[in-house]
Amino acid sequence: MTDYNIYDAKNVLESLKDNIYGIKKIPHYEEKANERDVDFNIVNSKLVDEIPVGIQKTLYHSERFELIYEYNKKEDLYIIINILNNNEIDILTIIKKNSNRRRH
């Protein structure tokens, strides 16, 4: 298992611009996206076209990252990914959180 760092995560995200088929969805993501009313096209657009306002490596997982994107004026969209290799990711889940947490 590769121990990815934030720079690696940034490079993998940049590679997705040329490889949209590198974005994989696991069943848990599908379930949560449905519950939280977030369309995959929005998530895909965030991953491919936008720069996250925050990237955090998760504890205990060398290939898992929490990407934070502005969603609307009140909420941020957290996209939790697992890096599979240099040009593929799994989307594990998404979470909407109040953006005030980040703005302090």
The answer as to whether 1 is a domain residue is: no
- The DSSP-derived string for 46-58 is HHHH---SEEEEP
The residue ranking higher by pLDDT, 2 or 57, is 57
- DSSP secondary structure letter of residue 16: G
Q: For 55-77, how does the pLDDT look when each residue is reduced to its tens digit (9 = 90+)?
A: 999 988 999 999 999 999 999 99
Task: Mark residue 60 as left, alpha or beta (left: phi above 0; alpha: psi -120 to 50; beta: remaining).
Answer: left
The answer as to whether 52 is a domain residue is: yes
- Domain around 35: 6-103
How many structural domains comprise the chain?
1
Structure tokens at 87: 């040009």
Q: For 19-53, how does the pLDDT look when each residue is reduced to its tens digit (9 = 90+)?
A: 889 999 999 999 999 999 999 999 999 999 999 99
The answer as to whether 51 is a domain residue is: yes
pLDDT at 79: 97
pLDDT band at 2 (very low <50, low <70, confident <90, very high): confident
d(CA 70, CA 49): 13
